[in-house]
Amino acid sequence: MDNFLNMIVPSSYLISVLLCVITMFCWGSWANTQKLVSKSWPFPLFYWDYALGILILTFLSGMTFGSYGEVGRSFLSDLQQGDLSSFVSAFIGGVVFNLANLLIVAAISLAGMAVAFPVGIGIALVLGVIINYMAAPVGNATVLFTGVAMVTVAIILDAVAYGKLPNQKAGSMKKGLLLSVFGGVLMGFFFRFVAASVSNDFVNPTAGLFTPYSAVFIFSIGVFVSNFLWNSWFMYKPIDGEKSRYSEYFSLGSSRIHLIGILGGVIWAIGMGLSMIASEKAGFAISYGLGQGATMVAAAWGVFIWKEFKGAPKGVNLYIFLMFAFFISGLALIIASRFV
């Protein structure tokens, strides 16, 4: 095959770390698009555009960056040679992620950001790093898991800080907490399904396994197809609020609203693609762990842009300071674990 029709992959660990940091910002920022339309557009309807954005971005990245480079297999060639087990594994990853994401969002509507998001993503971070490290042990375990522990402390401090805000949204805390736990467990497993379909060597990829561009595209198909099951359920049997109808997607949604939703999916998908691309040099556990630091990025949006802590009681600023201190220290250890 002509070398021109291959793919683009990072050449060093430091570049891979940079890609993981971008992943973290993407995963922590996509929800801003939902916040922009939340007053006039129900989340389940927004989520259709979000899923479509993931599908579009992963296909376009495969046809461009996944097809024009100097190493590996091109996107279409890679899809043609993939084993059935690779297709199934990546597809299941999308199905699992989609349900996990919707459960955490539903938990937020019941228990609030203070409980649901830190609990759900905290469980996903810890469980995901453990699972991916056991499957592909890259990096010093002591340093890696110390970093994970520090990020977990930061997430707990985030929850405590949110919990001290006045006028938190009322809801069924017990039900919301249960949903966030289930969502977090599922979120911790989805990455391993996708990673299991990816070759450890991107330059000379294993026959039957995918390169990252192909795996993430199949994953996105799993997200979109499963939306007809999972999101339809949340539309007609909402955990909180009014039910939505398919007809409303076409009759109530403006072009601007649809484009914002698609942009949200594109932002998240960029992060997912870069995380998988970085995994060859960084290892799946490190790339996933850094990516799930998105919780703190979301907190930063809340603190500095959306002013969610404006008028917070005395002492909350200390929690916020400690939150970012533990978060940055934990990320530094996760990155350093590859060098020790």
pLDDT at residue 156, rounded to an integer: 87
pLDDT at 1 exceeding the cut of 50? no
Predicted pLDDT of residue 140: 95
Report the C-alpha gap between 312 and 300 in whole angstroms: 15
pLDDT tens digits for range 281-339: 999 999 999 998 887 788 788 788 878 777 778 888 899 899 899 988 998 999 999 98
> Residues 161, 101: contact at Cβ < 8 Å?
no
Mean pLDDT score of the chain: 89
Residue 292 pLDDT = 85
How far from 13 is each of 60, 143, 278, 286, 337, CA to CA, in Å? 25, 17, 8, 11, 12
Cα atoms in the 13 Å half-sphere on the side-chain side of 339: 9
**Burial category of 311 from C-beta neighbours within 10 Å (exposed 0-12, middle 13-18, buried 19 and up):** exposed
- On whether the CB atoms of residues 133 and 286 are closer than 8 A, the answer is no
Contacts 24+ apart (CB under 8 A), 11-17: 12/281, 13/281, 13/282, 13/338, 15/278, 15/281, 16/277, 16/278, 16/279, 16/280, 16/281, 16/282, 16/287, 17/278, 17/282, 17/290, 17/335
Q: Give percent of the chain with pLDDT exceeding 70.
A: 94
Tokens of 65: 């960056």
Instruction: Give pLDDT tens digits for 194-233.
Output: 999 999 999 899 999 999 999 999 999 999 999 999 999 9
What's the whole-number mean pLDDT along residues 91-110?
90
With 60 as the cut, is the pLDDT of residue 3 above it? no
pLDDT band per the 50, 70, 90 thresholds, residue 186: very high
pLDDT of residue 247: 95
- Give pLDDT tens digits for 24-58: 999 989 988 988 888 889 889 999 999 999 999 99
d(CA 197, CA 191): 10
Report the pLDDT value the prediction gives residue 142, as an integer from 0 to 100. 96
What pLDDT band is residue 176 in, cutting at 50, 70 and 90? Answer: confident
Residue 185 has pLDDT above 70, yes or no: yes
Q: State mean pLDDT over 63-68.
A: 92
Is the model's pTM score more than 0.85?
yes
Closest-CA residue to 127 (of 181, 183, 189, 177): 189
